Amino acid sequence: MAAHRAEVDDFSSAPTSVAPAVATAPAPTPPPLDKEHALLDEVWALIDRYYLTLRDAPAWADQRRKAASTPLGGSRTATYAAARRMLKTLGDPYTRLLTPDGMAALSKLSEFNASAAADTGAAFQRLAAAGADAYVLDLRGNPGGVFEGALDLAGLLDGDGTPAATVVDKSGASETFTGHVVGYEAPATPAAQEQTQPGVRRGGGLTGRALSASAAPTGSVAASAAVPPGRGVVVPLSAPLVVLLDDHSASSSEVLAGALRDNCRAVLAGGRSYGKGVIQGVFGLSDGSGLVVTVASYVTPRGDIIQERGLPPQLPLSAGLRERAGAALRGQPPPLEEKIDWTRVREQLSMCAAGEEDVVGDGRGGGWATPHGGAGDVRAGGFNVIDAAGGA
């Protein structure tokens, strides 16, 4: 045994052969990018960091290598063209490049949309003053606009602080946004603070912007600071509300409609909405151009997905061929050939509030409708407000 141990000891102490070290040359440093390729790489990096669903990350990495080897000839026009080709591989119609001129136009459009809540709220107040006791909000043909506009309108019609939508980003993190009464801020009291739960943002949109009373638009229907959260400010919450949709109602229009439906504030009527349930962020680039990027998706307060599905009507209604043709010539939504049954609307809202009936219709038949009846309408802030007091 001792001899055996000695053999082991001798073996363990024997010299071992060592492979000779081989010197390796460092990887070559890539040449610095010229300003055009640097701008193109800036576009790639923003998509890589913020885009909602990069389904094929390796393929996107290849796009960076292709972009670096694309001859641009120092031309900004060629750079923009290469960026658009790169973005096209995402298959997303909403993610796009904006030239500096396009960035300026986008800013003007946002300012226009921001007035929708005040204008529409004022129209509702005029109808209420005229004696209306039931209302229709016509969102047919409305492609939406700024996300904050939907939150503001949800607040005006259903009260400050009511759930409006849940936003989910590429990491899976989610945040719930609530209706926001324009120009109204809840007092900083313990009672008010308890009404905002963790992960819930009250109004203000994706940027967290919250208007103060002094920032309210001139002529708006902003509530005073005495109005408590959870209270509607333009029409009584007891007044029935119908929201009209069609296949051109999209984006913020769907956010608003989904919020009012899920909170048992309104019944959806007309046709299935378009189905745009994703949100874009605008990122400025170093040359003054910009990149519109799909950064998040949203679902209704109940968790229903809007993207590529749309919202089905609980009350399917249609317009006749003659009405549609005439409306197309006037550039307006067509009048309905069916009359809203307000008794059924009230029943549906009561059942929803009591939790006795699912608020989502299948949108492919059924529902309730009666023969044709008319109503006057008012267009305000891109939304069509119909006085339906005489429609019962």
Instruction: Give the active site residue among 251, 252, 273, 289.
Output: 251
Tell me, yes or no, if 17 is annotated catalytic.
no
Tell me, yes or no, if 262 is annotated catalytic.
yes
Q: How far apart are CA 99 and CA 102, in angstroms?
A: 5
Q: How far apart are CA 243 and CA 234, in angstroms?
A: 16
Q: How far apart are CA 277 and CA 248, in angstroms?
A: 13
Instruction: Give the active site residue among 138, 152, 273, 276.
Output: 276
Phi, psi of 11 (to 5 degrees): -70, -40
Q: Are 165 and 148 in contact, with CB atoms under 8 Å apart? A: no
Q: Are 305 and 277 in contact, with CB atoms under 8 Å apart? A: yes
Instruction: Give the active site residue among 92, 152, 246, 262.
Output: 262
Q: How far apart are CA 66 and CA 271, in angstroms?
A: 45
Distance of CA 387 to the CA centre of its chain: 28
3-class DSSP assignment, residue 249: coil
CB burial of residue 76 (10 Å; 0-12, 13-18, 19+) = middle
Tell me, yes or no, if 66 is annotated catalytic.
no
User: Any idea what DSSP says for residue 186?
Assistant: -
DSSP strands (E only) in the chain: 96-98, 135-138, 163-169, 174-178, 200-202, 241-245, 267-270, 278-284, 290-299, 315-316, 376-380, 383-387
Active site residues: 251, 262, 276
